A and B are shown apart, each in its own frame.
Chain A
Amino acid sequence: KAGVTQTPRYLIKTRGQQVTLSCSPISGHRSVSWYQQTPGQGLQFLFEYFSETQRNKGNFPGRFSGRQFSNSRSEMNVSTLELGDSALYLCASSSGQGARDTEAFFGQGTRLTVV
């Protein structure tokens, strides 16, 4: 069974640009969550999608958005990039509806560098 696939693995963007990251969850998993990992703030929850609906959102500005398609693949978009958006963005997929039901499986992440 294939794991969680994130593309691209590495990305360099300029301030002010926008970026789209992609995540393909494990087959059959309907939940996709996104996290931002930085040395200063650690791992922070961005949002979760379940069956194409955003169920939960972290404390991030509106420049961060996402969506989920009918095949459960998800994309996150960051507009008007700032230097502080440089981070490892991790996607996690889960088969259950909540943390009680199943563990999250993480992709290898997309390393975004904003210059």
Chain B
Amino acid sequence: AQSVAQPEDQVNVAEGNPLTVKCTYSVSGNPYLFWYVQYPNRGLQFLLKYITGDNLVKGSYGFEAEFNKSQTSFHLKKPSALVSDSALYFCAVGTSGGYNKLIFGAGTRLAVHP
């Protein structure tokens, strides 16, 4: 069975500092990995995805993620955090078989302090 784990409920970062939000996955076959962000009372917004190729994926709003096959991880990173980055972040894995089903992690709340 495919699964995603986000080990941190909350991450606190000072504005201007680098941030990392962790994600590990368990899949059979090749993983299709995604990061989404959710602001209060809003739906999910797509940040970036890894399908194949370079292990470092660049996405929206200055975010990037590093795919590590040996550690089965897909951590989200940003070199310099903004207060406006404060939100709920979800890692997700796409299932194989030609479907659009996503399996989400529990989410990590990012708090960026001025």
Contacts and interface: CB of A to CB of B under 8 A. Distances in A.
Contact of B43 (A42, A56, A103, A108): A108
Which applies to chain A's interface (DSSP): helix, strand, loop or mixed?
strand
Contacts of A35: 102, 104
A87 B107 CA distance: 16
Contacts of A42: 104-107
A100 B99 contact: no
Interface in B90-114: 90, 94-107
A57 to B, nearest CB: 9
Given A99-B32, A103-B46, A107-B43, A55 B107 contact: no
B94 A100 contact: yes
Q: What's the interface size class on A, roughly? A: 20 to 34
A99 B94 contact: yes
Contacts of A103: 34, 46, 49
Nearest to A91: B43
B45 interface: yes
Nearest to B52: A100
A56 B101 contact: yes
Nearest to A93: B100
Interface stretch (A11-19, A43-51, A65-73, A74-82): A43-51
Given A42-B104, A42-B107, A99-B32, A104 B97 contact: no
Contacts of B101: 33, 45, 48, 56, 58, 99
B14 interface: no
B93 to A, nearest CB: 8
A48 B49 contact: no
Interface of B: 32, 34, 36, 41-46, 49, 51, 90, 94-107
22 contacts: A33-B100, A35-B104, A42-B105, A43-B104, A43-B107, A45-B101, A48-B99, A48-B100, A50-B100, A55-B99, A56-B99, A96-B100, A97-B100, A98-B99, A99-B94, A99-B99, A99-B101, A100-B94, A104-B34, A105-B46, A107-B43, A109-B42
